[in-house]
Chains A and B, each alone.
Chain A
């Protein structure tokens, strides 16, 4: 069996369905990364289930030759939770978008994370509604001019990472559609995480919100404005890696490693620390004043929900004995009529 698994290739995960995203859409890159990573995981193909909600991102299951379930708007976490509880042996991945997960499915999103169900959730964040043709989303910046907000949106956006950390997520990461090697490495880490693994992926919608992440993906921003989180290493970034992140009171600030202070003032990144406080502070960093952190914000292991559910049932069976139909029906207060 193991040799068969090892023999899986990227094309084994490509379905026969024509991919129908707009040319140039960031979703292609994400699909390609997932199709590259899945065969590396040593998991039989039939064990994968990809669950999605509604939106451009949610067409994802059709393009992967695995079991797939394209559900309804915002509800993929509900379906995935039931599936994982019924079948802990399956490898369940959710594909979702900022409208699907942050807006209509916001409730399910936070509850999935707090329960720590052993599924992976990929948030394709393009900060716009694409499938409905260009309305602002709950991650759009204030003042966004769209078809539904011709003179600018008024509501504050969600920060998906902050939200996830607040909900008690045990694995939180961010990557970018066009950073293929980075994205793949984050996906591998997500796959290895035993609880809910949440990955926000900056995804460019070249039709309705082009260059939404140019402050990360532009050539200059990549080197100057991107902070790679690496476990056990100091938080430094920029050309010649001369800028660092340090604590100032309860906040973070950028300092110059040459002009301001030495590397010893720099925070050393610890993704496994129990407290999510620093991860939260990092999730709040936004350009242009601050760099954009990418990588693993948090990776702590606690028991998964499905494991607790299974253990509880096993413990009940141990204590009471496996229930039989006879116990069930005849076990209460009964009387006989002759």
Chain B
């Protein structure tokens, strides 16, 4: 079905339909403001109480040639009246601002899905740029979808006839026409976006008012023409009671680190160098200077981590954040932190590699680098975040371990988590852990490497403390005195101690919980950002009557103490990873347990259905 929206062909009032779950994808040129449009829809839906999950998908190029496939930027948001775990496999509604956006995204649209196409961009020139032979709106290729043709630019200009804005600025408002239409389609109020525009353009009210006018025009247009014939409602979700906010993964990290700073009583110091997709952590922390946060944009990745180590030596909570290529550069300095046993948190927001790889695409392929990618025997704790909101708790936990055990801790996230968002039930302040570290002040009996008997942590003795003058460095240390030592037995002992210190953390972390039966035919094991897709797949499998359990690892070194037993309790263990099977390799080597590795390296997260299909396949076999 194809319809052109005009006021002349206004139809009968649309019928109202309730949906429990809907996925909307806004797609356009990089300059079309699709991320912003999607975020507005998300925030409004959040305030309406929907559960939601988002997936931005933007090109690495700031402005790839307009109208080309390379320049397509998309934002997917899933809203639901129940608890959801991922941004959905395929959209119900696709907004396509140009032919390239249509071509790139139509393949994933659900059968009978809605396409809103900006016909002003559907012309011979744009078809050529998108590599299309014919007009897809006319050549029958959209058979099976509900296509609504809307000349967004023309209608935007018409709405702004009285505006004093120049034509180019007027044209920039057209994404708000589309947003107004989608708001109408999903019965969303406009107020939240109207207020946001007035705040955002407080100094340029003419821009705010133009966008508001266009937003309303888009909404009114649908209301007058009733062109969609059906209108949707998605009720608010029955979420756990509490105060919520929508949060991006990288922002949750930032808040987690500031919270850790507050709860430890230590000033936060971030050393960082811009890199996709980790930069937002730097941006967000740079906004929090009034919390006593120091952000240091260093000359390179190496200086960034070194500065964090220096700050930590001085008694700050030193952290650094990067992505794979930057982590490679930091490796030598991370090893210095391993040797000098100072607290440090290193965030790796992973992206598709190797080398520069695909900076804006997600992957979990730095696990082996994290565990083994440094010279010498270099153990360090590794923990991973499993969703955007989980980054908060992960950050705090990383700081807890770093401060308690005097050790660098690696935190793994990825591009999917970093730029995705979901509602986050805010923790109660009194529930946040006390992270105050032990700082050595007494010179009596002090030795820089005399360890705590339980944690094996060495004392943290800050410069400026009389009587505690001491030297640390990358050379092997004498156990206790910390003097340089080339003694053979001492090196063996220190190597063992560094390993033992990390291993002991296993007694200080919760056991791995199983979702479902504690033993049986199949366990789906995951780590990091696969959590949402796995949860969705496992729930769907159970709905089909299949018996399947799931467990999700946060701690990747040391592993939870019960992991070995758990692996033995199931006939088969399915392990989906966005890499070629890195955790599977580690588990198989460590526990001599066969793992059904399910690798995927397409720069994209798993869909629920992919994992569901694999579950069904394994249970049938």
- A interface with B by C-beta (< 8 Å): 15, 17, 44-47, 49, 51, 54, 61-62, 65-72, 75, 77-87, 89-90, 107-108, 111, 309, 312-313, 316-317, 319-323, 325-326, 328-330, 332-338
Contacts and interface: CB of A to CB of B under 8 A. Distances in A.
Contacts of A325: 259, 262-263, 429, 432
18 contacts: A45-B466, A67-B471, A69-B472, A78-B303, A79-B310, A81-B307, A82-B269, A82-B313, A82-B318, A85-B269, A85-B311, A86-B267, A90-B464, A313-B293, A317-B292, A325-B262, A329-B255, A333-B246
A69 B469 contact: no
A86 B429 contact: no
B470 A67 contact: yes
Interface in B297-317: 298-300, 302-316
Given A61-B473, A107-B300, A325-B259, A85 B307 contact: yes
Contacts of B47: 333, 335
A108 B271 CA distance: 14
B456 interface: no
B296 A81 contact: yes
Given A67-B470, A79-B309, A82-B296, 20 more contacts: A15-B471, A62-B471, A67-B471, A68-B469, A69-B310, A69-B472, A72-B306, A72-B474, A75-B333, A78-B298, A78-B310, A82-B309, A87-B463, A322-B290, A323-B292, A328-B291, A330-B426, A333-B47, A334-B244, A337-B425
B46 to A, nearest CB: 7
Contact of B336 (A72, A77, A330): A72
A240 B13 CA distance: 107
Contacts of A17: 483-484
Contact of A71 (B294, B306, B312): B306
Which 7 residue pairs spanning A and B have beta carbons closest together? A70-B473, A78-B306, A82-B310, A82-B307, A68-B471, A323-B291, A83-B310
B214 interface: no
A328 B46 CA distance: 19
Contact of B242 (A65, A77, A85, A337): A337
B467 interface: yes
Contact of B303 (A69, A70, A77, A322): A77
Interface string B26-47: 0000000000000000010011
B468 interface: yes
B521 to A, nearest CB: 37
Interface string B363-384: 0000000000000000000000
B49 interface: yes
Contact of B307 (A15, A65, A78, A337): A78
Contacts of A338: 241
B314 A83 contact: yes
B474 A79 contact: no
A315 B159 CA distance: 44
B484 A62 contact: yes
Nearest to A320: B290
Contacts of A66: 469
Contacts of B469: 45-46, 65-68
A104 B307 CA distance: 17
Report, as a range, how many residues of chain B touch the other chain: 35 or more
Given A46-B463, A46-B467, A111-B303, A86 B311 contact: yes
B315 A87 contact: yes
A66 B311 CA distance: 17
B305 to A, nearest CB: 8
Interface in B277-296: 288-294, 296
Contacts of A71: 306, 309, 336, 473-474
Given A69-B313, A334-B245, A313 B468 contact: no
Given A70-B474, A316-B290, A49 B463 contact: yes
A328 B258 contact: yes
A46 B300 CA distance: 31
Given A72-B336, A328-B288, A313 B484 contact: no
A75 B43 CA distance: 44
Contacts of A328: 255, 258-259, 262, 288, 291
A236 B299 CA distance: 41
A317 B313 contact: no
Contacts of A75: 302-303, 306, 333
Nearest to A315: B289
B464 A89 contact: yes
Nearest to A79: B310
A46 B464 contact: yes
B619 interface: no
A69 B473 contact: yes
Given A62-B471, A67-B470, A328-B255, A337 B294 contact: no
A78 B311 CA distance: 10
B289 A313 contact: yes
Contacts of A336: 242-244
B507 interface: no
A82 B271 contact: yes
B240 interface: yes
A51 B475 CA distance: 14
Nearest to A108: B303
Interface in B459-507: 463-475, 483-484
Given A49-B463, A51-B310, A75-B303, A85 B296 contact: yes
A89 B464 CA distance: 8
Q: Interface centre among A69, A107, A309, A319, by most B CB within 10 Å?
A: A69
Nearest to A77: B303
Contacts of A84: 310
Contacts of B244: 334-337
Given A69-B313, A78-B310, A90-B314, A330 B290 contact: no
Nearest to B236: A337
Contacts of B470: 67-68
A309 B293 CA distance: 10
A121 to B, nearest CB: 14
Contacts of B483: 17
B427 interface: yes
A330 B243 contact: yes
Contact of A85 (B236, B294, B474): B294
Interface string B421-465: 000011101001000000000000000000000000000000111
A106 to B, nearest CB: 11
B239 interface: yes
Given A46-B468, A78-B306, A86-B311, A309 B294 contact: yes
A139 B611 CA distance: 60
B351 to A, nearest CB: 24
Nearest to B468: A46
A332 B245 contact: yes
B120 interface: no
A130 B294 CA distance: 38
Chain A CB count within 10 A is highest, among B293, B303, B336, B432, for B303
